[in-house]
Amino acid sequence: MHPIEPPPADGQLTGFLDRVFAPEGSAVSVAEVASASEQGATGYQESLLIIGASTAPKFLASPGPLVRALTAHSKLRAPKDRVTRMAAASALALGVGRPRKRASVARPVHLEVFPGHDPHESLVHKKMARVAGLATDRIMVVLRPIDDHYKPTITLLENDGVPAGFAKLGWTLKTAAMVRRETAALKQVGTDLGSSIEVPALLGSGDHFGRPFLVSAPMPAKASRAPRDLPANSLIEQLGGPIRRAATAAMFVEVESAISTAAARGDTARAQLLQKAIVELSGMWGSEVAVTRSHGDWVPWNVATYRGRFVVWDWEHFHDSLPVGVDAFHWVMLSSHLLDGKSWRESFSLAEQTLQARLPELVNGVTNAPTSAQLSLFHAALLTSRSETLRTIEGNEPFPLDNVVADLVQRTSSRKGSD
């Protein structure tokens, strides 16, 4: 098995286990067994409890206390997820929801198939625990539908079930790039972005048979979900850091990559559309534009509040330099679309109006700063490029924004013509 491939198409439990726990070149076998007394292949073995119906399991977990793992960070959960976790925890606490099956992951004793590797680290979570400096290697894994940019997330647990670390594994080319980007971001930004923002510490990172992983510190136990409204400009300024100037051409690296990808698969219309967006924005910005660092996916569900500070996680789309205001634009636009159900066009319009009022204070007279209309076009082109990158084999995309980009390009061109 190659270390980085498309995830199992059927998304079944055994396929998931095989991809997460069976590294390249090993003879790891995966099987569901009815009781703890049944054994797998001779050699090192790991057993994980299957929580939930065997036809639709919700979690995998190491044997031991699990109630605190299931109920941790309940204030951060969406209502449906919170109910699912509380129900499972209550059933376990009452003794009526004990798992009836367990998955057995067995590795043969022939260690020569793992040259240079500790045999106990043939399973990824054991290496994660060591790299992160944790005393235990108990885990809980949330099972959810698998798609082409789904990343297995593994919660590393203390012996009593309290979360000790939060791990991500890149198991496809796309998710591997996201994990590596987040690792680099956490190393760069550190844990403290000012008086009002903190970031979970990077406990460790590494590579497991060609697949990158990272382990970050868990969120504060009593953290709460962030308010829905766009935070104050002072917080946005702390997130982005000092305003700098950067080459305009550097803003379009991701867009140009998407142009090449779209052209290679025969979508010349998208490639030409994105090229037009670059031409329009470059013409307005000139050789340089005002930038800050960018979280890349700054939205209410990636932010929590704790003791008067904001805790920000999920740095998978981090950029060192993007136009001033792009994170604020993203917050308003995506919240409008995903939380309020507004159309893409309506959501972009709302974000543009909001940034029109906010930008003057954010840029504070800095020259070469983008306008809200320019941010709208840039952001639409950027998300379309990200959508191209995350495009699945079936053609599904998270941000089908070609029509929005076309409208904004036309508007920009018309305004230039009337000047």
Residue 327: predicted pLDDT: 97
Of all residues in the chain, the percent with pLDDT exceeding 90 is 55
Q: What average pLDDT does this structure show over 147-175?
A: 87
Q: Using 50, 70 and 90 to split pLDDT, how confident is the model at 150?
A: confident
What is the band of 393 on the pLDDT scale with cuts at 50, 70, 90?
A: low
pLDDT on residue 105: 63
User: Rounded to whole angstroms, how far apart are CA atoms 148 and 136?
Assistant: 31
CB crowding 142-155: b at 16 or more within 10 Å, else e: ebeebebbbbbebb
Average pLDDT over residues 362-380: 95
Number of Cβ atoms within 10 Å of the Cβ of 283: 12
Distance CA 40, CA 33 (A): 8
**Rounded CA separation 269/277 (Å):** 13
Q: What is the mean pLDDT of residues 33-46?
A: 46
What is the structure's pLDDT at 33?
44
The whole-number pLDDT of residue 289 equals 97
Q: Average model confidence (pLDDT) for the chain? A: 84
Which residue has better confidence, 386 or 3?
Answer: 386
Cα–Cα distance measured from residue 216 to residue 226, given in angstroms and rounded to the nearest whole number: 20
Q: Phi/psi of residue 33, each to 5°?
A: -120, 150
Give the pLDDT confidence score for residue 89 in this predicted structure.
82
Going along the chain from its start, the domains and CATH numbers come out as 13-220 (no CATH), 233-418 (3.90.1200)
pTM of the model: 0.88
CA gap 358, 339 in Å, rounded: 21
Question: In the prediction, which pLDDT does 172 show?
Answer: 82
SS (H, E, C) the chain: CCCCCCCCCCCCHHHHHHHHHCCCCCCCEEEEECCCCCCCCCCEEEEEEEECCCCCCCEEECCCCCHHHHHCCHHHCCHHHHHHHHHHHHHHHHCCCCCCEEEEEEECCCHHHCCCCCHHHHCHHHHHHHHCCCCCCEEEEECCCCCCCCCCEEEEECCCCCEEEEEEECCCHHHHHHHHHHHHHHHHHCCECCCCEECCCEEEEEEECCEEEEEECCCCCCCEECCCCCCCHHHHHHHHCCCEEEEHHHHHHHHHHHHHHHHHCCCHHHHHHHHHHHHHHHHHHCCEEEEEEECCCCCHHHEEEECCEEEECCCCCCEEEEECCHHHHHHHHHHHHHHHCCCHHHHHHHHHHHHHHHHHHHHCCCCCCCCHHHHHHHHHHHHHHHHHHCCCCCCCCCCCCHHHHHHHHHHHHHHHHHC
Measured CA to CA, the distance from residue 316 to residue 301 in angstroms comes to: 14
Percent of the chain exceeding pLDDT 70 equals 79
Q: How far apart are CA 180 and CA 23, in angstroms?
A: 19
pLDDT for the residue numbered 128: 93
How many CB atoms are closer than 10 A to CB 14? 13
What's residue 112's pLDDT?
44
Q: Mean of the pLDDT values across residues 51-76?
A: 80
**Whether pLDDT at 43 is above 60:** no
d(CA 166, CA 157): 9
Q: What is the pLDDT of residues 256-274, one digit of tens each?
A: 999 999 999 999 999 999 9
The sign of the CA dihedral 419, 378, 349, 353 is negative
As a whole number, mean pLDDT of residues 310-334 equals 96
Sign of CA dihedral 65, 69, 75, 80: negative
Write out pLDDT tens, residues 286-318.
999 999 999 999 999 999 999 999 999 999 999
Strand partners, 156: 139, 165
pLDDT-derived band at 120 (thresholds 50, 70, 90) equals low
Q: What is the mean pLDDT of residues 347-354?
A: 98
Instruction: Render pLDDT for 69-96 as a digit per residue (tens, 0 to 9).
Output: 888 888 888 878 888 888 888 877 777 6
Bridging pattern class, strands 59-61 and 44-51: antiparallel
Residue 101: what pLDDT? 63
Q: Give the pLDDT band of residue 348 (cuts 50, 70, 90).
A: very high
Would you state the pLDDT for residue 217?
96
* 355 close to 375: Cβ distance less than 8 angstroms: yes
Instruction: State how beta strands 309-312 and 197-198 pair.
Output: parallel
Mean pLDDT of all residues in 366-389: 95
User: Which tokens go with 65?
Assistant: 């206390």
Q: What are phi and psi of 309, to 5 degrees?
A: -120, 160
pLDDT of residue 414: 82
Q: Return the exposure string of 178-200: e unless at least 16 CB atoms fall within 10 Å of the residue's CB, then b.
A: bbbbbbbbbeebeeebeebbbbb
- The per-residue pLDDT for 359 is 95
Among 25-39, 106-120, 253-267, 286-300, the range scoring the smallest mean pLDDT is: 25-39
Q: How confident is the model at residue 54, as a pLDDT?
A: 56
Residue 116 pLDDT grade (very low, low, confident, very high; cuts 50, 70, 90) = low
